[in-house]
Amino acid sequence: MRKTMIAVLTVLLLGTAACSGKYKPGSDTAAADQGTQTGAAGETGATADCVDQTGGDATITISGFAYDVTCLKVSASNGITIVNEDPSAHSFSVEGGIVDEVVDSGQTAKVKSLSDLAPGTYSFNCRFHPPMVGTLIVE
For 98-111, what is each residue's pLDDT tens digit?
A: 899 999 999 999 99
The DSSP H or E segment spanning 25 is: none
pLDDT given for residue 136 in this prediction: 97
Q: Which residues contact 122 (CB under 8 A, 6 or more apart)?
A: 37, 39, 40, 94, 95, 96, 135, 136, 137, 138
Alpha-carbon distance 105 to 87, whole Å?
Answer: 5
Residue 97 or 18, more confident: 97
Backbone angles phi, psi at 58, to 5 degrees: -100, 160
Instruction: Give residue 38's pLDDT.
Output: 40
Question: Tell me, what amino acid is at 137?
Answer: I
Q: What percent of the chain has pLDDT over 90?
A: 58
Residue 2 pLDDT: 55
**Alpha-carbon torsion, ordered 46, 51, 54, 57, to 10 deg:** -130
pLDDT over 80 at 113, yes or no: no
Query: Are 75 and 119 in contact, with CB atoms under 8 Å apart?
Result: no
Task: Report the run of H or E that residue 12 belongs to, with start and end.
Answer: helix 2-18
- Predicted local confidence at residue 76, as pLDDT: 92
Q: Report residue 46's pLDDT band, with 50, 70 and 90 as the boundaries.
A: low
pTM to 2 decimal places:
0.67
pLDDT of 87 > 80? The answer is yes
Tens of pLDDT along 5-41?
554 444 444 444 444 444 443 444 333 333 333 444 4
